Structure 1
């Protein structure tokens, strides 16, 4: 635990580039007024609306919250959600010059309708997603590539956050991985649907279901998970593979052959797991940029995830919270 405590202040000011699908999580909140006479549905009286970073934008938010200097690379629309997302990221000191406005594309939004009464817990009743499924134009891709090339040499580490919305094109993916490999810069990928195309990346982060889907497996148990982790490690020629397992913690596979089971740090206070994967990626990337081993970086990310699952919605952890969580765990 002392090693992790000493690692926390080293995260500060590390320059991290996050390339990926920038998402605006929109929350529309309303108080339950009555049942509609038009249909058997609730009528909500609008009470609030706010936008928080999601997807790759949440990864940038988490890096910034832990003290890193973040450079966001991606696409947002010239719309309300995009403008709010830029403002939210800018207010946290995140560099947003690399966010390209695609005139033909709306900002990726996930709008959650939240309902509750005076004496009830607020609950999500429906979610509306807005997203263009087509690849970017060559002009938009060229602008992203130009921004990446202008800043990449100054980075201590890079995150490729691929939610399946085409920001990390094959051209961008191959260029960034090759550059990071040549310059020995840690590059970590978190890809929901296409992780097996990231050959040569330094670290692969997946959850159990993503790892299973990547190899065509329907389910994964403790035994098959070990097999899956080894296969992903070998096929992608990565240095490490980190698979998150929810209440069962994490499993880390390293090129040396070492396999580490990392138990959860928080079993009793799970409130919301939304965005916890982005927290894991952010903390591990910063730790690697600070010179940590893969094992210590994974352990630190485990503590960070244990903090955010106690909070509602997409959330972040701070250096102070990390130190407290690590210190309390050591004392226990």
Structure 2
């Protein structure tokens, strides 16, 4: 078992994966609090630096590239500094960004976090500023997006749709992706924050507990309703598998065969930051499936990869070496 999982990590290298979705630039403005302003009862932050990291679907792209996948990133960005920086960062990770459609009429989705803290104080978020368009894509932009996907999707080993609700994944794109993947027998997976029930026919579905509850009209999930939610999503979307992540309680995999398997969290003692761990789970699972693994083995490796990234601050990634170490530690 231990060796099988190790071998799967070697097999995912250079697998072609297309990640389609809401590309987000996470911007961190760093500084320290110096005093209270005379103009208003607000803190004055002395700016000390700025850092841009891939967020949203771009974090899924970054994770897939770090794991060794040959990644094709597809999404809409603005003709702005955030979009340029996001492209440069991903290009430096050998990601193919030819699927980035530049739309000058809308900004790159940006989440700017103002972080305050010094050497002797705790670093904490003061405020977050979100910038995104609330309009549907223009027809010309949608046409270019669909054209790129139609031209390239048949060459992929796996396809992921990462839907953060940023209105850059039109209904026409969902249908084209699902139909093309099913026709070519390419594994496809959706991770959707708000609209997962729009993805009928997708092969795999990933949801966290609150998303799954919302999808089936429940307030919260307990042990019984979790099973109900997983099976309902599986049936209504005609999917092959549904993975519901449960934070410190691990994750549960539902398969079309009727199998329901709970996978305990790989580490509870070293959790630093869970930001972006869901993206890690999705692309790890899809790369491993592309390498020929079962849904269960793919979910177990995805769980271990998530255990690596939650030990790191912010949106983080796991390397093949780190994943192999995690396997060794877990199965020793």
Per the normalisation by structure 1, the TM-score is: 0.99
SS of equivalent to 1:285: helix
SS of equivalent to 2:268: coil
Structure 1 residue 138 and structure 2 residue 174: aligned?
no
Which residue of 1 is the match for residue 317 of structure 2? 316
Shift of 1:310: 0.7
1:184-263 aligned within 5 A: 184-263=185-264
SS of equivalent to 1:98: strand
Whole-angstrom CA distance in 2 between matches of 1:236 and 1:248:
25
> Over the residues paired in the alignment, what is the CA RMSD in angstroms?
0.7
Q: Could you give the per-residue CA deviations for residues 246-279 of structure 1, whole angstroms, max 9, x where no partner exists?
A: 0000000000000000000010111111101100
Q: Could you give the per-residue CA deviations for residues 194-251 of structure 1, whole angstroms, max 9, x where no partner exists?
A: 0001011010000000000011101110110001000000000000000000000000
Which residue of 1 is the match for residue 149 of structure 2? 148
Moved more, 45-54 or 1-10: 1-10
Whole-angstrom CA distance in 2 between matches of 1:3 and 1:255:
24
Instruction: Check whether the contact 2:274–2:310 (CA below 8 A) recurs between aligned residues.
Output: yes
Whole-angstrom CA distance in 2 between matches of 1:78 and 1:29:
25
Whole-angstrom CA distance in 2 between matches of 1:39 and 1:314:
33
Which residue of 1 is the match for residue 124 of structure 2? 123
Q: Could you give the per-residue CA deviations for residues 52-80 of structure 1, whole angstroms, max 9, x where no partner exists?
A: 10001000000000000000111110101
Whole-angstrom CA distance in 2 between matches of 1:202 and 1:12:
22
Which residue of 2 is the match for residue 59 of structure 1? 60
SS of equivalent to 1:161: strand
Instruction: Check whether the contact 2:266–2:303 (CA below 8 A) recurs between aligned residues.
Output: yes
SS of equivalent to 1:97: strand
SS of equivalent to 1:96: strand
Instruction: Check whether the contact 2:154–2:180 (CA below 8 A) recurs between aligned residues.
Output: no
Shift of 1:40: 2.5
1:65-76 aligned within 5 A: 65-76=66-77
Whole-angstrom CA distance in 2 between matches of 1:219 and 1:205:
17
Whole-angstrom CA distance in 2 between matches of 1:37 and 1:265:
50
Shift of 1:91: 0.5
Which residue of 1 is the match for residue 94 of structure 2? 93
Q: Could you give the per-residue CA deviations for residues 95-136 of structure 1, whole angstroms, max 9, x where no partner exists?
A: 011101101100000000000022112111110000101110
Which residue of 2 is the match for residue 6 of structure 1? 7
SS of equivalent to 2:134: coil
Whole-angstrom CA distance in 2 between matches of 1:196 and 1:152:
22
Shift of 1:41: 2.0
Per the normalisation by structure 2, the TM-score is: 0.99
Which residue of 2 is the match for residue 282 of structure 1? 283
